[in-house]
Structure 1
Amino acid sequence: MNTAHGPYLISSTGIYHGKRIKYHNRYVDQFLGIYYAEIPKSLKKPIKKRFNYTIQNATKFSPYCMQSIMMAENLSYGSFVMQQSFNDNCLSLNIYRADLRHGEERKAIMLFSHGGSNQLGGGSLFDGSILASEGDIIVITMNFRLNYHGFLSSGDSRVRGNYGLWDQLLAVEWIYENAHLFGGDPHRIVLAGHSAGAGNVMLIPASPYCRGMVKRVISQSGTGLAPWSINRNPFKLLERFSQDFNCVRSDEQEMFNCVYQLLENSNGDIYRLHLSLNIADDNPYPVIDYDFINDTIENVLQSDVYKNVDFLTGVTLNEGLYFAEYHIKHLLNGLSNQSLSMGKAPLREKRSIIFPNSTAIIAPDITFTTNLENDKRLKEISEQSASTEQLASSLNVSILLERFVKVNYIERYIDANFQHGKCFMDKVKKKYELSANKDVTTRLKLYIDLVSDLMFNFHMVRCLNLRAMVPKINSTNYAYVYAHRPTFKVKSAFRDQKLLPDAVGHFAELDYVFGVPLARNYSRIHRNVNMSFYNYTSDEINFSRKIIRYWSNFIKTGNPNLNPSFPDKVDVEWKSYTNKNHDYLYFQLNNIHNEISYFDSMYDFWLKCFQIEDQGGCTKGKIRKHLALFLFICSSIFILTISYLIWKYFQMKKKRTIIRS
């Protein structure tokens, strides 16, 4: 409903007064900071927001959910930068709606789950106005609980975990129930996510509680099969959390009570402490809790649950760029192999990976209101962090990489991620190390490929292949590779020192999906979001429009080439990914084209490695092969013996018959 005083939205939780901005010759309505749920208590499922009978102001964002203050200060995510406050009352969403025209059909809805390792970030990082206007859709971003508030778990019913996923599911439910009230189509709800958010949006439709509310999924730079998307040993992390905050008790229930109390009374300082003391190299993530998620994602992808869910996924050309840079810089300073785990960089260092624009990790003037008994530990970590950064900045990348080669980086990376990596170590080194005589850039590129393949690429292809094998599937699959370097400034020694000036790392595509290059025509953009008016070229502006068209077409129809409202065809047909044809759309400036079987050789290589790992190693694998051969021989001998005895029996019977006659 629009009036002279701005747009209003009537929903199941209240009446909201939003604001209207103009983009080109079209208006976009914004409803910001709408609370969709309440948190009754820490480590509990969210509950629906009660109806508020007063008209509520929906022109400002709500605070973020609780997260590390140090990591979130001057938070940046590619070109998206924001400073925000934090609060326990944070479960809100932001609606961006292209203006409703008389008689037009209800609009498809994209709900976006932000990345940040499920530890950081918030919905208001991303302004959906341009994407909504250019794509003629409704874009919604959301907050959900993060870190220990959102994902701490004991691995059983005592602390089930997945609270951040329950939050997101309730956001989906709010949208499903209220879509018709703000011009949306409840039967075209599309979940989109980036990085950890990409894993989240694959897990939500897998839940039996979702009940078919999600029509499509867009999974950018991550999937629910990635090694970092599911925590396989949650109790170990809970124990470590308890140790670092003096909650260890002889009675486990007392330990849980201490943890509950700690999180219930946290005010942000706990996260300042948490970051500085480097609680865990492993972060709290979703778990298989047999409630929200009651089966493996592999099984769910091939079940009836996903048969009707359209799927679009992809990666950037060099996804592992910033993660590999972290490894090279910090392994040289004596970090353990644990820091090389796939996507599990220590939180106190991870800020420079996920948010490369960020400044120093540990500031000298920080004070803590929490009672600290670990000043010595804090000082040691601060000194170690400063030493690491000093080492990294004092040497050029060539020297760093030379040193990195000498510490057997391939062996250390594989050992950190595979229990039986020695079984295929030589093959991995042959593929990703080649010769020590290779130049620095080549070796660097190969290591980035290794990290990219293990953290992102292999699991994306596995996801596509599992879906493609499902018989009589009623949905579509599309895959992409994004290969245009980011225009925004990213703090990367590899790029700064011209070793890989055109590298395309994590989150490179996001500014083009959200239409940042078009922001020069968006005079009333919300200034809390730094959409950073970089010097985009006219080609890049057109490139962004093309990407938005593919994305919005898929959101509307499940086919990125098809848009009933605009009969004009896209420039390049995006071919679907099938069991027979492994097609990818390759996004390169002025050269969008299809690639066939782009990752097939990589996938086949790692599939064999993972099979060895799943079999329990090369020794057990050989034993199994020998045992299988032995059983085959024995069974063959047995069958031949039985056949011979039967033949002999009938021969003797035949002779007796002849003699009698």
Structure 2
Amino acid sequence: MEKVKILLAVVLSLGMASAASLGVVQTEGGSVQGRNIPLRLFRSVDVFKGIPFAAQPGTFEKPKPHPGWDGVLKATKFAQRCLQMSMFQTSSFGSEDCLHLNIWVPQGRQVSSNLPVMIWFYGGGFMVGGSMGANFLNNYLYSGQEIADKGDVIVVSVGYRVGTLGFLSTGDSNLPGNYGLWDQHAAIAWVHRNIRSFGGDPSNVTIFGESAGGASVNFQMLSPHNKGLFNRAISQSGVAFCPWAFSRNPRKIAVKVAVKVGCPTDDRMVDCLKSTDAATLCMASPLVRPSSPDHPGVENLSLSPVVDGDFLPDLPSNLFQNAADIDYLIGVNNMDGHLFTSKDIPSFGDKNQDTPVEDLRRLLAAYTKEKGQAGLEVAFTEYSSNWGSEPSQETIKRTVVDIGTDYIFLVPIQTAIHLHTANARSGRTFSYLLSEPSLMAGPGKPYHDWTGTDHADDLQYVFGKPFTTPSAYGDRHRDLSGYMISYWTNFAKTGNPNKGNLVVPVIWPECTSNGYQFLDINAKMNETSTGQEMRSRFVRLWNSTLPALPSHHDTDAL
């Protein structure tokens, strides 16, 4: 028996060793060498970490080409994140020299060639975030290994500037903003020029991202600067129309930052800001205040993309013709607002505490403040229409989640879906609702047992965590993760989530203006898992009914 085991071990090691590997790769900046990770018989993945795609950017300047390097760059360690505030907002960490990317290339018996490419943009409210190493404790959420191996695609993750250094703007040409979006664009362009050397197909590139990364994907689709650089896009829980994703009055924030760092606020302001130390600028970012029903947390996210006349030449709603030939897969988690509203209304998160209806009304009043009392009453009537005379606590708390989910994510996402389908030429649209029960819900767990898919819950499934850390998940989670990787990578290959190398559990209908069909994704999918006109009553409320009311007063909406 022992001999058999030894023989098997030798065969396995030989088999894994005989999976192909890229070795040293030539890029425009010089030679790079990553690490080959054996996975199983005749299967491995080449991983390249920390390849620079641009030079260290100047403060409030667009990225510039990297000057290159001599010798072979050992691409085996993650670079630093872009400079940002720490979680407790008491210090900063990261580096200004942060425009690097990571690449995962799956290998079989022969060296891979002509593979579809997927470029990932992380979330973090445009304030924080990174794909360079562990996101939380030792858990590296954005490893592309599972997607690359299971889907047979190349995965690339990139760094981009966040916070003041990425998105501060005066709203004019003096400090136009959108530096983080320019970084993303530079990464897309680098991939287009260099990915063939890694076995990728530059004519088959998909960009994808979640939350601020999902909104970034939407902005990249709308910019005229990306023409011909990618063909498909996936936005998870974020688009340009989300209330936190676009700034209409950026100068107000620029003035606040200037005052904080001791700069004048007259015509000398921009020169002074540009000569201020980067870490000081980073810490001058508007602090995230504790939220309440009257001041919801979503209002804290005040640094975001703007119309700059260049990257975004017009309002996002007027730029969808630039995305007319881009296939778009886009969706929302059924309780995306849970994370936010549970902070806005402290009683909400406590299973043993009642949430007063008055707190719900105050939250709704904050979201509808531009329309005053009339707006609040119209919205409250709509959300409470099926309550009956004595609503239960579950009914009230579920309604709180619905309000947050609709306002912060779901309704803006439907707006993007409608505009993409209306402007499409060859580009197809696929819409989804992710409705898997939360892992944090149930007896002995912190969330109410009815809690569905919270904000960012989708990430673990898309990145295959139930496979890499199996003890933390059940079979149903591996099923769901497999489904999502299949849909996402099929879409990256063919522009259709149903067509590719991987079998899917349910045919996902294309979303068209004739019904706006969507797929309800969870671990227990069947032929009833499709729907249409997602939450149309509430989409109408936010997009038609409320905007038609007279404005209560002018607000400096951020």
Find the counterpart in structure 2 of residue 598 from structure 1.
534
Find the counterpart in structure 2 of residue 580 from structure 1.
514
**1:569 positional shift:** 4.7
Find the counterpart in structure 2 of residue 209 from structure 1.
225
1:38 alignment partner, SS class: coil
> Counting helix residues as a fraction of each chain, which structure ranks higher?
1
1:113 matches 2:121: yes
**1:442 positional shift:** 1.0
**1:64 positional shift:** 0.4
The one-letter amino acid paired with 2:125 is S
The one-letter amino acid paired with 1:36 is F
Normalising by structure 1, report the TM-score.
0.73
Contact 1:517/1:541 (8 A) holds in 2: yes
1:399 alignment partner, SS class: coil
Find the counterpart in structure 2 of residue 260 from structure 1.
274
Find the counterpart in structure 2 of residue 28 from structure 1.
45
2:499 alignment partner, SS class: coil
Aligned residues: 516
1:481 matches 2:489: no
Find the counterpart in structure 2 of residue 552 from structure 1.
489
Contact 1:68/1:272 (8 A) holds in 2: no
Contact 2:237/2:332 (8 A) holds in 1: yes
Alignment of 1:108-187 (within 5 A): 108-124=116-132, 125=135, 126-187=142-203
**1:237 positional shift:** 0.6
Among 306, 312, 327, the residue aligned to 1:293: 312
Find the counterpart in structure 2 of residue 467 from structure 1.
420
Deviates most, 454-463 or 108-117 = 454-463
Deviation track 1:487-539 (CA, whole Å, cap 9, x = no partner) reads 3x5xx99994553453321011111111111115xxxxxxxxxxxx5432223
2:436 alignment partner, SS class: coil
1:444 matches 2:380: no
The one-letter amino acid paired with 1:508 is D
**1:46 positional shift:** 0.7
Find the counterpart in structure 2 of residue 244 from structure 1.
260
Deviates most, 13-22 or 205-214 = 205-214
Deviates most, 231-240 or 7-16 = 7-16
d(CA) in 1 for partners of 2:479, 2:90? 33
Deviation track 1:285-330 (CA, whole Å, cap 9, x = no partner) reads 00000011002211211x1x2111000001111010011111102x
Contact 1:72/1:121 (8 A) holds in 2: no
Contact 1:17/1:57 (8 A) holds in 2: yes
Q: 1:294 to 1:327 in 2, by over 3 A?
A: same
Contact 1:46/1:167 (8 A) holds in 2: yes
Find the counterpart in structure 2 of residue 60 from structure 1.
77
Alignment of 1:272-311 (within 5 A): 275=287, 281-301=300-320, 303=321, 305-311=322-328
Q: Which structure has the higher relative contact order (CA within 8 Å, separation 6+)?
A: 1
1:217 alignment partner, SS class: strand
Find the counterpart in structure 2 of residue 509 from structure 1.
458
Find the counterpart in structure 2 of residue 348 from structure 1.
none
**Unaligned 5+ residue runs, structure 1?**
75-83, 333-391, 521-532, 620-661
Among 466, 469, 473, the residue aligned to 1:536: 473
Deviation track 1:369-400 (CA, whole Å, cap 9, x = no partner) reads xxxxxxxxxxxxxxxxxxxxxxx99xx45536
Find the counterpart in structure 1 of residue 102 from structure 2.
94
Contact 1:147/1:283 (8 A) holds in 2: no
d(CA) in 2 for partners of 1:327, 1:92? 36
The one-letter amino acid paired with 1:546 is Y
**1:50 positional shift:** 1.6
Q: 1:317 to 1:399 in 2, by over 3 A?
A: same
Contact 2:235/2:331 (8 A) holds in 1: yes
**1:73 positional shift:** 10
d(CA) in 2 for partners of 1:506, 1:455? 11
Find the counterpart in structure 2 of residue 625 from structure 1.
none
d(CA) in 2 for partners of 1:210, 1:239? 31
Q: 1:446 to 1:248 in 2, by over 3 A?
A: same
Identity in percent = 26
1:422 matches 2:422: no
d(CA) in 1 for partners of 2:416, 2:32? 40
Alignment of 1:332-371 (within 5 A): none
2:275 alignment partner, SS class: helix
Deviation track 1:100-152 (CA, whole Å, cap 9, x = no partner) reads 65486501111010000011111234100111000000001111101000000
The one-letter amino acid paired with 2:102 is N
d(CA) in 1 for partners of 2:495, 2:22? 33
Contact 1:39/1:46 (8 A) holds in 2: yes
Alignment of 1:194-233 (within 5 A): 194-233=210-249
Q: 1:515 to 1:103 in 2, by over 3 A?
A: closer
User: Greater CA radius of gyration, 1 or 2?
Assistant: 1
Deviation track 1:436-467 (CA, whole Å, cap 9, x = no partner) reads 73121210110110111111111111111122
The one-letter amino acid paired with 1:284 is L
